[in-house]
């Protein structure tokens, strides 16, 4: 794993906690509650495999297993210049990607802030804004789209029901967008119409999900890449599936014999058959905007982990086991304990836990913490963080088993997102869980590799593949 993922956890054994017997017992109880044993992992993996099969068999399954229409694997030798745009959050990103062969690339990009009124105005106006941004970007780059048609990969991070690689219907808006005249319509077609109105010779070649982009961005550099996984605000994964193992596919003959599947794995076990959901997770779920949905994501991803820690801490405060029974106005606020604080606290190796003290007292306004308080908070962070990584490994293990990867040569899972990037030891903890499931040698079969530019490079690689007939 590269250097940016190797910051070490400084973990604490339960017997090092200087608190009283009741506090020590509370920590032991939490450890039991949050532990995912190897046996439990096996149960989860088996259920995961069963749910993947259901999703491949029919539409509307809990784990949706959406065919991406991306077939074939890049060789890394392809060359050419492609465009990519990413619309999803606050910014619109426009990229020009030069594939130089030998897995080498160069990328030029520009960010444009999407004006708030456009996010809730007419879809046509939003598309015109995107076209104008592409136009001014190309002018700035000195690229003349009049010479030849430029192929564009469109990372559109909203739920789209795909009907072709560059065709689909928007199912719903999320993340603060609510443009009129877009639901049930094809975002690629609407953008294409706008590009045409502005006489730009740009062709929307593909609608790209960020997991698929993450996979393809890495696949251009490393042919062993079989999976792309996001561990950011949310979590999701994509992998190569054999066409003959997608019974629900009705799209007719495809060029290759495999296709990338966007799993939408955040919804795994929404029926709650196997996931070890605690009262603290249930509290988070009830207070979320989508109760009962995306429970796997809620146990794993950056939006939620800090809030689970806060819930556990509050329960200890209410039992007079933490902070002498007192919270603070800030700490009482939902989402006030950011997942990034967990990373800070996990690597705090000072004997007095000074960084932990800073987070709790200076940032969160807890009046006075004892060493035992800080040790308990550190322990809680560790339990929640390790559980997240082990449950993530269950998803990876399910894909590995389903695809018989243990029988194959070494494979690479491309990973992206702040949690895997910054949470200390996240990928190492996943690997450890995989070793428990598959044996010590599993690290010769799978490695996790950072793949940072799914929505730029990945989308461009897909546009390239489309233009070369996949």
Enzyme catalytic residues: 175, 210
CB of residue 126 vs ligand ADP: minimum separation in angstroms? 20
**What is the rounded CA–CA span in Å between residue 351 and residue 366?**
20
**What is the rounded CA–CA span in Å between residue 60 and residue 63?**
8
**What is the rounded CA–CA span in Å between residue 413 and residue 214?**
10
Task: Select the binding partner of residue 338 from ligand ADP, Mg ion, none (C-beta < 5 to 8 A, by kind).
Answer: ligand ADP
**Does 437 participate in binding ligand ADP (rule CB under 6 A)?**
no
**Does 466 participate in binding ligand ADP (rule CB under 6 A)?**
no
**Does 450 participate in binding ligand ADP (rule CB under 6 A)?**
no
Task: Select the binding partner of residue 425 from Mg ion, ligand ADP, none (C-beta < 5 to 8 A, by kind).
Answer: none
CB of residue 230 vs ligand ADP: minimum separation in angstroms? 7
CB of residue 417 vs ligand ADP: minimum separation in angstroms? 4
Task: Select the binding partner of residue 343 from Mg ion, ligand ADP, none (C-beta < 5 to 8 A, by kind).
Answer: ligand ADP
State which residue has the least CB distance to ligand ADP: 232
Residues that bind Mg ion (CB under 5 A): 232
**Residue in 188, 393, 419, 457 binding ligand ADP, rule: CB under 6 A:** 419
Stretch that binds ligand ADP, among 35-43, 50-58, 131-139, 337-345 (CB under 6 A): 337-345
Query: Is the Cα dihedral 23, 29, 297, 401 positive or negative?
Result: positive
**What is the rounded CA–CA span in Å between residue 143 and residue 30?**
59
Binding mask 215-244 for ligand ADP (x = CB under 6 A): -----------------xx-----------
What is the radius of gyration, based on Cα positions, of the chain?
23
Q: Are residues 364 and 377 in contact, defined by beta-carbon separation less than 8 angstroms?
A: no
In this structure, what are the phi and psi dihedrals at residue 314, rounded to the nearest 5 degrees?
A: -60, -40
CB of residue 157 vs Mg ion: minimum separation in angstroms? 8
Per CB under 6 A, which of residues 154..213 are in contact with ligand ADP? Answer: none
**Residue in 96, 155, 278, 343 binding ligand ADP, rule: CB under 6 A:** 343
**Residue in 50, 189, 243, 340 binding ligand ADP, rule: CB under 6 A:** 340
- Of the pair 88, 103, the CB lying nearest Mg ion is at 88
Q: Where are the alpha helices (DSSP H) in 403-458?
A: 418-422, 426-438
CB of residue 400 vs ligand ADP: minimum separation in angstroms? 24
What kind and span of H or E run contains 467? Answer: helix 459-467
- Of the pair 192, 425, the CB lying nearest ligand ADP is at 425
Query: In sequence order, what are the residues at sequence separation of 6 or more whose Cβ sits closer than 8 angstroms to the Cβ of residue 438?
Result: 397, 400, 406, 445
Q: Where are the alpha helices (DSSP H) in 35-165?
A: 38-57, 116-119, 123-141
What kind and span of H or E run contains 247? Answer: none
| Nearest 10 degrees: Cα torsion 349, 355, 360, 361 | 130
**Does 339 participate in binding ligand ADP (rule CB under 6 A)?**
yes
**Does 422 participate in binding ligand ADP (rule CB under 6 A)?**
yes
Residue 275 CB coordination number (10 Å)? 21
DSSP 63: S
Stretch that binds ligand ADP, among 109-117, 185-193, 284-292, 336-344 (CB under 6 A): 336-344
Task: Select the binding partner of residue 340 from Mg ion, ligand ADP, none (C-beta < 5 to 8 A, by kind).
Answer: ligand ADP
| Nearest 10 degrees: Cα torsion 126, 132, 136, 139 | 140
**Residue in 417, 454, 456, 458 binding ligand ADP, rule: CB under 6 A:** 417
Angle, vertex CA 118, rays to CA 117 and CA 124, nearest 5: 140
User: What does the binding site for ligand ADP look like in residue numbers (CB under 6 A)?
Assistant: 232-233, 302-303, 338-340, 343, 417-419, 422-423
């Amino acid at each position: 794993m590269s250097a940016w993922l190797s910051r070490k956890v400084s973990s604490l054994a339960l017997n090092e906690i200087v608190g009283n017997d009741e506090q020590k017992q509370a920590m032991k109880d939490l450890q039991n509650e949050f532990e995912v044993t190897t046996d439990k992992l096996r149960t989860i993996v088996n259920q995961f495999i069963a749910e993947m099969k259901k999703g491949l068999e029919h539409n509307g399954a809990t784990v949706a297993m959406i065919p991406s229409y991306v077939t074939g694997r890049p060789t890394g030798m392809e060359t050419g210049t492609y465009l990519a745009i990413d619309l999803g959050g606050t910014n619109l990103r426009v990229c020009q990607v030069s594939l130089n062969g030998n897995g080498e690339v160069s990328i030029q990009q520009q960010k444009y802030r999407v004006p708030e009124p456009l996010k809730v105005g007419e879809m046509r106006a939003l598309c015109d804004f995107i076209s104008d941004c592409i136009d001014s970007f190309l002018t700035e780059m000195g690229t003349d789209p009049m010479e030849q048609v430029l192929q564009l990969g469109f990372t559109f991070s909203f739920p789209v029901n795909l009907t072709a690689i560059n065709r689909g219907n928007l199912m719903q808006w999320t993340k603060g967008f609510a443009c009129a005249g877009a639901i049930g319509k094809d975002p690629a077609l609407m953008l294409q119409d706008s590009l045409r109105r502005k006489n730009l010779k740009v062709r929307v070649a593909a609608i790209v999900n960020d997991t698929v982009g993450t996979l393809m961005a890495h696949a251009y550099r490393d042919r062993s890449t079989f999976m792309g996984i996001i561990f950011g605000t949310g979590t999701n994964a994509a992998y190569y599936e054999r066409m003959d193992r997608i019974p629900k596919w009705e799209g007719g003959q495809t060029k290759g014999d495999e296709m990338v599947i966007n799993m939408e794995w955040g919804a795994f076990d929404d029926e709650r058959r196997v996931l070890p959901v605690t009262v603290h997770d249930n509290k988070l779920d009830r207070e979320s905007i989508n109760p009962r949905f995306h429970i796997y994501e809620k146990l794993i991803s950056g939006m939620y982990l800090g809030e689970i820690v806060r819930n556990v801490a509050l329960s200890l405060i209410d039992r007079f086991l933490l902070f002498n029974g007192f919270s603070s106005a800030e700490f009482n606020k939902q989402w006030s304990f950011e997942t990034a604080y967990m990373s800070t606290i996990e690597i705090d190796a000072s004997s007095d836990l000074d960084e932990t003290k800073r987070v709790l007292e200076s940032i969160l306004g807890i009046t006075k913490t004892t060493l035992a308080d800080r040790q308990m908070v550190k322990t809680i962070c560790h339990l929640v963080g390790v559980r997240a990584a082990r449950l993530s490994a269950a998803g990876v293990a399910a894909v590995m088993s389903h695809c018989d990867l243990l029988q194959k040569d070494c494979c690479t899972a491309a990973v992206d997102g702040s949690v895997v990037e910054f949470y200390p030891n996240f990928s190492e903890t996943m690997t450890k869980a995989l070793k428990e499931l598959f044996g010590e040698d599993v690290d010769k079969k799978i490695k996790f590799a950072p793949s940072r530019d799914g929505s730029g490079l990945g989308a461009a690689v897909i546009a390239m593949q489309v233009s070369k007939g996949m």
